[in-house]
Amino acid sequence: MTEKIKIDDELFIGGREFNIIAGPCAVEDEQQMDAIGKFLNRLGVKIIRGGAFKPRTSPKSFQGLGMEGLRILKDIGEKYDLKVISEVMDPRDVEKAYDYVDIYQIGSRNMQNFTLLKEMGKTDKPILLKRGMSSTIDEWIQASEYISMEGNDQIIFCERGIRTFEDYTRNTLDLISVPIIQSRTKYPIIVDPSHGTGRKDLILPASKAALAIGANGLMIEIHPKPEEALSDGLQSLNFSEFEDLYEEISRMEKALKMNG
């Protein structure tokens, strides 16, 4: 079994826990985040995600609200009793973001940004390390060693799909990495079916498969109005779609626990 990463006194990722993290691709404004925070709190979700520093392929796309986004995220987390996770891209922002996040995220494009890995490794907060989109499992594990060698042992891996010749989906979700990471390291691993598939209709089946293969949780993008989202609207679930998924996955999780 993987180690448990402590998020707070009552909340852990890893071990026998299965956590579902949800939130928008990007923090857009206070109103959007308030609606999402309220909804997640009602469902019983414990961790909200939201990008403030967005790694966009085009410099002309929405780049995120930066520190203002982190302020909104923290306020909403406090208001609705949610822990927050957000990506930091620049080593110079690690310290600035420290007071605003409960879990740092290292995005796919930065999995081998060794300066960033080392800088975060000096902090005492849990780190979600997403898989580089063109990285092998060994490279991913070695990236985690840049963090642990600085003294931070609170690592959570996140499988988010890799680039292959298959272009039906945005990425190819490599779920077999889940048991491999769990046997090769002591750390938990969660799955991001949103970036892993890029398509709303595939998020539920991919989530079920992730749970069945033994993942320690999921991270899913949601938006009150996906059609108006400033980023990743095509892969974002609306509230009722997410609620259905949450209930179905929770039922499946209970059934698996009863049998195991």
Q: Using CB distances below 5 to 8 A depending on partner kind, what does residue 46 bind out of ligand PEP, Mn ion, none?
A: none
CB 148 within 8 A of CB 116: no
Alpha helices in the chain (DSSP H): 30-43, 67-79, 94-97, 114-121, 137-148, 177-184, 193-197, 203-213, 239-259
Tokens 């902090």, residue located: 123
Which is it for strands 11-14 and 103-106: parallel, antiparallel or unpaired? unpaired
Angle between helices 239-259 and 203-213 (to 10 degrees): 20
User: Which of 222, 209, 221 lies closest to 249, judged by CA?
Assistant: 209
Question: What is the β-pairing status of strands 11-14 and 4-8?
Answer: antiparallel
Q: Minimum Å distance from CB 178 to ligand PEP?
A: 16
Nearer to ligand PEP, 91 or 252 (CB): 91
Query: How far is Cα 64 from Cα 208, in angstroms, rounded to an integer?
Result: 31
What minimum distance in Å lies between the beta carbon of 147 and Mn ion? 22
Minimum distance between the CB of residue 25 and ligand PEP, rounded to whole angstroms?
A: 6
Least separation in angstroms between CB 82 and ligand PEP: 17
Between CA 207 and CA 218, with CA 213 as vertex, the angle to 5 degrees is: 35
- Return the number of the residue (108 or 185) whose C-beta is nearest ligand PEP: 108
To the nearest whole angstrom, how small is the minimum distance from the Cβ of residue 157 to ligand PEP? Answer: 12
Least CB distance to ligand PEP at residue 158 (A): 7
Which C-beta is closer to ligand PEP: that of 56 or that of 252? Answer: 56
Give residues 188-247 in contact with Mn ion (rule: CB under 5 A). 232
Closest CB to ligand PEP among residues 154, 171: 171
Of 25 and 36, which CB lies nearer to Mn ion in the complex structure? 25
* Count of positions (residues) in the chain: 260
Q: Which residues bind ligand PEP (CB under 6 A)?
A: 25, 51, 55, 87, 107-109, 130, 160, 195
Distance CA 246, CA 155 (A): 25
Q: Which is nearer to ligand PEP, 170 or 255 (CB)?
A: 170
Name which of Mn ion, ligand PEP, none residue 107 binds, using a CB cut-off of 5 to 8 Å depending on partner kind.
ligand PEP
One of 25, 94, 101, 156 touching Mn ion (CB under 5 A): 25
